[in-house]
Structure 1
Amino acid sequence: MQNRTDDACDVVVVTGTGGIGSAVARRLGSGRTLVLADAFREQLDRAVDSLRAEGYDARGVLADVSDRASVEQLARTASGAGRLTAVVHTAGVSAATASVRAILDVDLLGTVYVIEAFEKVAVRGTSLVCVASVAGHMASIGAEDEAALTTAPAENLLAVDAVTALGDDDTVAAYILAKRANLVRVQAAALAWNQRGARVNTVSPGVISTAMAKAEADGESGEHMLKMLDACGAGRPGTPGEIADAVAFLTGPEALYVTGTDLLVDGGQSAWIRRHMQDG
């Protein structure tokens, strides 16, 4: 059963159909038009079919967040489907499975494209949440480079000194840099979104039980990552549903006065790194 054509439906957009994206779609999509976007047709179709089978009004849009024109088309399509209520940007790649260039194209530039494209179509009440990472809180970047990452036009970002200094194999450093950029770009974007009566925030997950996290755990740093979860007292990774709950808060009525900030959801891992790791 679809929405009546005379109803002004609320629209929720989710980029990325992985573990977090799917959890967010289910958490926010009930009674709304759900626009899912992914760069891979098979994965997108599978996610849409699954959600439709569960009663969601889901539709898929093939979109590559590393392509500005593709993101702008997604924004136009979504805004034309009804009242743009929430946009949740979960699409991304990891240091364990992607190249430096892919990380910069998808995690860094892709997030900038999403912020800018959806700001153009945001209406009063629209809330954008970009999924960043605890890694962004671990970055050590000079003030000049951070200022450039915060405000430089997208076409100039890959020329920032901190970016050009990355080696071809520095995937972890590239990921940390990209996620730091996510945090500061959202801070800088908050003014423009506020002026439209809209909001923009980030969520920074720690280790979450997804396919991407499994790839990290199976990689060179996996054992260290799992030991840190025990050392910080969490004793387990988080679940996609816990990130979806955080997103639901930031896109909901309880967070109307929350914008331009980050919600860290990491089981206390970053606090342990800052305040206790040296004691171990």
Structure 2
Amino acid sequence: MSTSDVVVITGAGGMGTAVARRIGSGRTVLLADAFPDHLDRAVAALRAEGYRVLGRVTDIADRTSVNELAEAATAAGRPTAVVHTAGVSAATSTVARILEVDLAGTAYVIDAFEQLAVPGLSVVCVASMAGHYAQLSPAAERALAIAPADELLTLDVVTSLGDDPVAAYIVAKRANQVRVQAAALAYNRRGARINTISPGVVSTAMAEAEQRSASGEQMMAMLDACGIGRTGTPAEIAEAAAFLTGPDSRYITGTDLLVDGGQAAWLRWHRPR
């Protein structure tokens, strides 16, 4: 029996399960989430639809837990794609949790799968359009890009954030983007690739919570102002992930794909000053 191709997906929410449905057919899906009940429901739903799914409880904020996920992927077969959708939002989390999960956790994922990368592997980290809001110095961006993962939470650009969850989220997501850019060289040397996707407002449970937050009205108004007039869907993010993990993107690595309905472009060129 030939070795199964393995797709690793972190986050068993709407975005993660949409990715599983889009790229999981005929492969082993290793689905990871921090919440066992949530994970079990997603695994059961996907299995009922005919997918071969393994569930693994994983705390992205714990380096050991992430390393064990990478090892489990190798044990299950030949990892061909990793799509990291797990994260927390500014509307529902503390600054500390945002930095632990969205900043350090993503760095742990990048490091863990680099060590086990085989030729043909494609890793996609879901960042955010919010990363394009960041106004950081070149020195701060360089530190976020190349500092050892275990030192990220001690960087000046991080410790100076105070108690503003939105600022923490923006810095964390910018760090995801630049860290993937910096990691592309090591992945290339292993015959593998790594990119980010930066969604705008996508219709997930997390986005619904954000819409009910203090900044939610402004966020939804931006969708009208930029002309798109609607939120994105998890399936649209899954299509982007399918492209970046598929054969048509073999020459694409170390870059960010905005999937935001034009919101970042509107912010840069048309937002009233």
**Structures share fold, TM-score greater than 0.5:** yes
Q: For the aligned residues, what is the CA RMSD?
A: 0.7
Question: Counterpart of 1:177?
Answer: 171
Hey, what does 2:67 align to over in structure 1?
A: 72
Residue 120 of structure 1 pairs with residue 115 of structure 2: yes
Deviations 1:183-229 (A, max 9, x none): 00000000000000000000000000001000110010111111110
Structure 1: distance between partners of 2:239 and 2:129: 17
Residue of structure 1 equivalent to 2:214: 220
Tell me if 1:111 matches 2:82.
no
Q: How many residue pairs align between the two structures?
A: 273
C-alpha separation in 2, matches of 1:137 and 1:79:
34
Cross-structure match for 1:17 = 12
Give 2:256's aligned residue.
262
**Of 186, 193, 197, the match for 2:180:** 186
Measure the CA separation in 2 of the matches of 1:162 and 1:189.
20
Cα deviation digits, residues 114-168 of structure 1 (max 9, x gap): 0000111110000000000000011011111111101111121112111111112
Q: Structure 2: how far apart are the matches of 1:155 and 1:113?
A: 9
- The counterpart of 2:3, out of the listed 8, 16, 27, is 8
- Residue 96 of structure 1: aligned partner: 91
Aligned to 1:146, what secondary structure does the other structure show? helix
**Separation in 2, partners of 1:75, 1:159:** 26
Residue in 2 that maps onto 1:37: 32
Matched, 1:250 2:244: yes
How far has the Cα of 1:245 moved from its partner? 0.1
Q: Name stretches of at least 5 consecutive residues in structure 1 with no aligned partner.
A: 1-5
The equivalent of 1:3 in structure 2 is: none
Q: Secondary structure at the match of 2:194?
A: strand
TM-score norm. by structure 1 comes to: 0.96
Partner of 1:237: 231
CA distance in 1, matches of 2:40, 2:61: 20
Deviation at 1:181, TM superposition (A): 0.2
Residue type at the aligned position of 1:151: I
State how far apart, in whole Å, the 2-side matches of 1:102 and 1:254 are.
Answer: 36
SS of the residue aligned with 1:176? helix
What's the CA shift string for 1:243-265, capped at 9, x where partnerless?
00000000000000000000000
